Amino acid sequence: MQRRHILGAGLALGGQAMLPALAQPANTTFIWSGFPAGGLGDQVTRPLLEQLRGKLPQNLVYDTKPGAGGRIAAEFVKRSSPDGGHIFQTPSSVMVLQPHVFKKLPYDTLADFTPIVGLCAFSTVLTAGPGLPADVRQVADLLRWAKANPSAANIGNPSSGSGMHLASMLLAKQSGAPLNPIPYKGGAPLLTDLLGGQIPVSINVISEVLPHIRSGKLRALAVLSPTRSKALPEVPTMIEQGHKDLAYSEWLGWFGPAQMAPNRVATIQAAVQEALASNAMNEALAKIGLEPMRQTSAQFAALVRQDHAYWAQVVKTTGFQPED
């Protein structure tokens, strides 16, 4: 069952029974997530829509079209009218990494979409669990341990072809350490094995491991963002520890179809930026280790192109073989 979250000027409705009547009202914008309900996108979008109440002339409807790693929702929005009635909400990997790890996509992420606004940025974290000796506190310690214990030197990541998978491959290749990347089917089973000691170290989205790092069950060796995370200010970056190529942030953003009207883009972007500046949004994002993005639509579009080029180079360097 899919779930809709609807907010607008004086409107707050929900429920699957209302779907046929709300197929495409003229004053409604649908925001589609390509992932199941309950994930990171929901945690951001629910409070954001509350802050956007009454700030746009149209009602906002949040719903999901999960499957194929976000590609179903992406193709749907790509084929929609450029009037902006449908918006694709997505993590960065769908737009900037998937073009390099899949041989065929039914769209061009740079040509077939209009970047509207970045919502928030978040770090990924090189995280040690109880399966790694307690004296491993930095990246250099991990690499020494891996070289001394090659049969045990597994490094987990939440899915094959993800940014975290590619980052673990790049760390192994550039350091010469025998780190063996182990892709999981999602962050939840990876976290379970990390906490249980079945895998010694992994790269995780910050929101998934932050409570366990704060409680002391896990320890952060490095963040992979270009600068330190506000959620873990005491944890050095990979750059600070001598790995300058392992510097990227992931983000969540909104995209419309190609040729979306500039005035519609500007109106939505301005309203979202105002909402992101609110105390309520800052508190909601900080609680899960996310940081609001402060960019114009043009700056967001430039970031998309920059990250697209970054991952192209990483895929080439690691030798990762694109999937069908």
In the chain (324 residues long), the average pLDDT of successive 10-residue segments reads: 42 33 66 88 93 92 92 96 94 96 94 98 96 97 98 95 94 96 92 97 94 97 95 97 94 97 95 96 94 96 97 94 78
pTM for this entry? 0.86
For 215, counting Cβ atoms within 10 Å of its Cβ (0-12 exposed, 13-18 middle, 19+ buried), the class is exposed
For residue 254, the one-letter residue type is W
Pairing of strands 86-91, 250-257: antiparallel
Residue type, 200: P
DSSP symbol at 56: S
In contact, 208 and 187? CB cutoff 8 Å: yes
d(CA 71, CA 96): 13
**Topology match between the domains 5-122+250-318 and 124-223:** yes
| pLDDT for the residue 17 | 31
Identify whether the C-beta of residue 36 lies closer than 8 Å to the C-beta of residue 70: no
Domain boundaries, the chain: 5-122+250-318, 124-223
pLDDT value of residue 26? 64
CATH number of 5-122+250-318: 3.40.190.150
Rounded to whole angstroms, the Cα distance separating 89 from 253 reads: 6
CB 92, CB 314: distance < 8 Å: no
The CATH fold assigned to 124-223 is: D-Maltodextrin-Binding Protein; domain 2 (3.40.190)
